A = this chain, B = another copy of it.
Amino acid sequence: MQFQIEATSGCARTGRLATPHGVVETPVFMPVGTLASVKGISQDILEELGVEILLGNTYHLYLRPGIEQIRKLGGLHRFMAWPRAILTDSGGFQVFSLNDLRKVTEQGVTFRSHLDGSSHFLGPESAMEAQIALGADIIMAFDECTEYPADEERGRKSMELTLRWAERSKKYFEGHRHEVPWGSGRRPSALSPQENPSNACLGTASLSCPAQLAVTQDSRSPSAGSGHALDSTVRPDNGPHDSGRDENAEREEWSQSLFGIVQGGMDPDLRKESAERTVEIGFPGYAIGGLSVGEPRRLTRETVEATIQHLPADKPRYLMGVGTPEEIIEYANLGIDMMDCVLPTRAARHGLLFTSEGKVSIKQARYGGDESPLDPICGCRVCQRYSRAYLRHLYASNEVLAQVLNTVHNLSFYLDTMRAVRHSIALGKKACFLSGEQSQRKP
């Protein structure tokens, strides 16, 4: 994985994250595709919205359909027909959030499935094994997300556990990364899906990736079905993603990357120590975990600021589990490169829509006769076609299309927001909210 910083403005920076499944422009907001699906939104719509990377939840996929099943089908990209980048979390957070049903030991965590109560175990090694089998481009160390509030002793204990688990995660990963279902260990080649996979190492100008190689090989197997176009869908987008690659990049080995996670609760000293010791272990990217766990927003910001100064500037910084449209701009301004949150998608399903004029709760009766678009300055398919009255009707009638359209809009809003953020930074300006009025609104 390669990370190139392109422009800076204050602490903020734009970058390009080159992954085995395409380039990701940062700062980026990653939609959450929990169970190999961003709820209700088909992959072609995600592509149209400009999603370059999405997040999958290892915990949920472990339970359904199961890691081995996905591995046998060639990994998560192939399984869900998503040719662009994927990041998986380690399962640690979901296990943490099923508070009552888990037991933490030095080895890892025993927990009960929220689906059927069956007993399971997840630890650094098995979390790496699962994520390698899923084959996400970026995977996360297995950590303990420290609860909030936590006193200093608890914060320290938890942080130390996370560091020991980080070491084990990295060790297992380095020993087993070659097992990734699409990995070939070979250099990228110019292979187009129609070419003979045995010529894989020709190394001509247009890059493809190991994922494509694996797919092309699979397409020759009898079970693959004739004329099935899955192959071409797993090929990385050959548009802007593949332009401007230099020779060094071409020779780099394309495989997964494991990010470390900084914990330490809300204590700046613990955060500093966690950051430094995680960097000492050494990862190609670093996440700030253990935030957005119930603490006041002021404290989230302070802790991000306290932590980020101890993370290397030349590696991507991923703030997990945030945020509102105002927050994602704020954190980008602090130097965060990657974020993820269920908020846009979950809020959409509850009819809570983010617009340039503020939040709209579309279920309200007052929208029943409103023929104006949801957001007058939004260019998404929803705002370009449907009225608030129609969206309100769909939601009030419990129509599935409500969920679909609401999600398309909210995701579009988030992605447009990040696009504007990147643009501001590139112009050397501080990123600010889309509409001038917004900067004066209370969050």
Binding site for B on A (CB under 8 A): 35-37, 39-44, 64-65, 69, 72-74, 79-81, 218, 223-230, 233, 368-369, 371-373, 376, 381, 384-387, 389-390, 392-394, 396-397, 399-401, 403-405
Contacts and interface: CB of A to CB of B under 8 A. Distances in A.
* Copy total for this chain: 2
Contact of A233 (B44, B72, B385, B393): B385
A390 B224 contact: no
A338 B40 CA distance: 31
8 closest residue pairs by CB, A with B? A225-B372, A40-B400, A65-B393, A37-B401, A81-B385, A35-B397, A229-B384, A37-B399
A42 B74 CA distance: 31
Contacts of A73: 369, 371, 387, 389
A387 B75 CA distance: 13
A389 B225 contact: no
Contact of A385 (B36, B43, B372, B387): B43
Nearest to A373: B228
Contact of A223 (B233, B368, B372): B372
A390 to B, nearest CB: 6
B79 A372 contact: no
A226 to B, nearest CB: 7
Interface centre among A41, A228, A390, A403 (most CB of B within 10 A): A390
A225 B42 contact: no
A81 to B, nearest CB: 5
A229 B404 contact: no
A43 B373 CA distance: 16
A225 B387 CA distance: 10
A80 B230 contact: no
Contacts of A40: 40, 399-401, 404
B69 A396 contact: no
B401 A41 contact: yes
16 contacts: A35-B399, A36-B394, A40-B399, A44-B381, A64-B397, A65-B393, A65-B396, A69-B368, A73-B389, A74-B371, A79-B387, A79-B389, A79-B390, A225-B371, A225-B376, A230-B371
A130 to B, nearest CB: 16
A76 to B, nearest CB: 10
A227 B81 CA distance: 36
A404 B42 contact: yes
A81 B369 CA distance: 15
A39 B405 CA distance: 12
Given A81-B385, A224-B372, A371-B224, A393 B36 contact: yes
A385 B39 contact: no
A376 B41 contact: no
Contacts of A35: 393-394, 397, 399
Contacts of A385: 43-44, 81, 229-230, 233
A398 to B, nearest CB: 9
Nearest to A385: B81
Contact of A81 (B74, B225, B386): B386
Contacts of A43: 385
A37 B36 CA distance: 26
B394 A37 contact: yes
A44 B384 CA distance: 11
A387 B44 contact: no
Contacts of A368: 65, 69
Contact of A399 (B39, B369, B376, B401): B39
A373 B65 contact: no
Contacts of A373: 225, 228, 230
Given A36-B390, A224-B371, 14 more contacts: A36-B393, A37-B400, A39-B400, A40-B404, A42-B401, A42-B404, A44-B381, A73-B387, A79-B390, A79-B393, A80-B390, A81-B387, A228-B376, A400-B403
